[in-house]
Structure 1
């Protein structure tokens, strides 16, 4: 292999690793958001676990986090406004990234 090939492979490996870490952080963030929202909705036990799963899977509708925001906004109508939800989303993402990086 040439030096160029080595560099290309290293870049591809880094890209794949970074994408995997981002996926894990997104999923963890969504789980945290689901736990927070379930608490606001008064859900616990299996009902809360099912709701958390709904929040996590809502992220698969489109790229980005707006699909999760729409789900939370609709479900938390009257319990949390847009600035509160968006602030919690940012807070959870920071915490999720920190946790994922600590694990790796």
Structure 2
């Protein structure tokens, strides 16, 4: 195998790894956002975890995070508007990334 082929495989592996880390961070962010919303809804324990799981699953409806925002806005009603939800998601993404990085170490 040539040096060029080695480099190509290394770049492909790095790209795949980076994409997996982004996917995991977004899923973790959605879980954390779901737990935040569950608290606003008065859910605790297993009910809160199940609700957070439903938020993670909602992200698979379409590309981007607006599907999650719509679900949470509908569920939360007057407890939080879409802008508040987006702000919480933005706040929790670095937290999710930090948690993922701790697990990798």
- Normalised to the residue count of structure 1, the TM-score between the two structures is 0.92
Equivalent residues, number = 104
Cα distance in 1 for partners of 2:102, 2:51 equals: 27
Question: Which residue of structure 2 lines up, in the alignment, with residue 8 of structure 1?
Answer: 8
CA distance in 1, matches of 2:97, 2:88: 14
Superposed CA RMSD in Å reads: 1.1
- Distance across 2 between alignment mates of 1:49 and 1:17: 27
Q: Is 1:67 the counterpart of 2:52 in the alignment?
A: no
Tell me, in whole angstroms, the C-alpha distance in 1 between the residues paired with 2:46 and 2:3. 54
Stretches of structure 2 lacking an aligned partner (at least 5 in a row)? none
Unmatched 5+ stretches in structure 1: none
Match of 1:95 in 2: 95
Counterparts of 1:82 and 1:56, CA distance in 2: 17
| Alignment partners' CA distance in 2, 1:102 and 1:46 | 25
State the distance in 2 between where 1:94 and 1:77 align.
26
Conserved 8 A contact 2:29-2:89:
yes
Separation (CA, whole Å) in 2 of partners of 1:29 and 1:94? 8
Structure 1 window deviating more from structure 2 (53-62 vs 41-50): it is 41-50
Matched residue SS, 2:77: coil
Does structure 1 conserve the Cα–Cα contact (< 8 Å) formed by 2:70 and 2:82?
Answer: no
* 1:40-59 pair list within 5 angstroms: 40-59=40-59
